[in-house]
Amino acid sequence: MDKNPFIYDLDIPDLSDLLKSWGEPAYRTAQIWSGLYRHFYNSPSEFTNIPKSLREKLESNVRFNALTPDLRQSSSDGHTIKTLFRLPDSQVIEAVQMDYDRRRTLCISSQAGCAMGCVFCATGQMGFKRHLTSGEIVAQVMHYARQSHAQGERVTNIVVMGMGEPFHNYDNTMAAIDRLNDPEGFNFGARRITISTVGLVPAIRRFADEGRQVNLAVSLHAADDETRVEMLPVNKRYPIADVLDACRYYVDKTHRRVTFEWALINEVNDSPETARRLATRLKGLLCHVNAIPLNPTTGYSGVATDRGRAEGFRAVLQQAGIPCTIRMRRGIDIAAGCGQLAGAASI
């Protein structure tokens, strides 16, 4: 495998050091950074604002294409695009663009596969392959940003909810977010980024201590440990009470709301009784419940809640003062919905 550094793995100090080692003036760093993140250049030849000799050095010593888009699928409604990327070591990941009225949201991956083993999630069913580098995370965003720019559009939201558990790959995920947030580069607002975790308690507390403006979503899916451990094995290590304590700590430290993700599974976690139990556990916590009928995967036999049961679940929560939204399902026909990404199955 090519040992040259991947351009999106470099932060400004890294890039500056590289250029300095080549005897280049300091201002070249800003030129290249701007070309990458503001003009969306994808190869050294596009950097016409720098000398040919420097373009040749970049071509010979830095990789610009560590993610190869192998497959692109569009949903039948035209609102969802899924891309399968091949990595240099032949691992594969998937990322999704979802278009709404005035929003263009990206769902990006942080790992190839996932070690959490959530039973209803296709990524969890495939197991863990490896962490993505920070640059591989960034590159997914830049792929779609480049396409949006060519269409006169722009990315409006990013959710780190694709393949993998972002907090299991904490350092690389945060480095990627910092790079995307950099005001001299892509300048993507932290409050338009959401990270979703299954509830890795130490990472939630670390995230809270860092005081970031990035949104936090926690995949909860059950109101009691017996049910949750059957769906999310990580609950054996971090039971619901510990997860919610960490969420309260997060709210106390940041004064920001937590979103709880809830896959509504027919006659598993969608009853009024479950909603009442959940409301009791969430009482007094600044939060919002984001519920979505389960998306189908081949490795799980559960089925989605129907609309009536979903509305009943929401009504109980709202009557108890817990805000709840029933999310729209998107991209189901191309397996691009939440819990459906599994790159290996697409080859």
What tens digit of pLDDT does each residue of 45-89 get? Answer: 999 999 999 999 999 999 999 999 999 999 988 889 999 999 999
Domain with CATH 3.20.20.70 in the chain: 68-346
Question: What is the band of 345 on the pLDDT scale with cuts at 50, 70, 90?
Answer: low
How high is the pLDDT of residue 344? 53
Nearest to 190 by CA among 205, 204, 180, 175: 180
Domain with CATH 1.10.150.530 in the chain: 7-61
The catalytic site residues sit at 94, 338
Q: State how beta strands 157-160 and 193-197 pair.
A: parallel
Q: pTM of the full predicted structure?
A: 0.96
- CATH 3.40.1390.10 for the 7-61 domain, yes or no: no
- Looking at domain 68-346, which of 3.20.20.70, 1.10.10.10, 3.40.190.10, 3.40.50.970 is its CATH number? 3.20.20.70
How high is the pLDDT of residue 1? 56
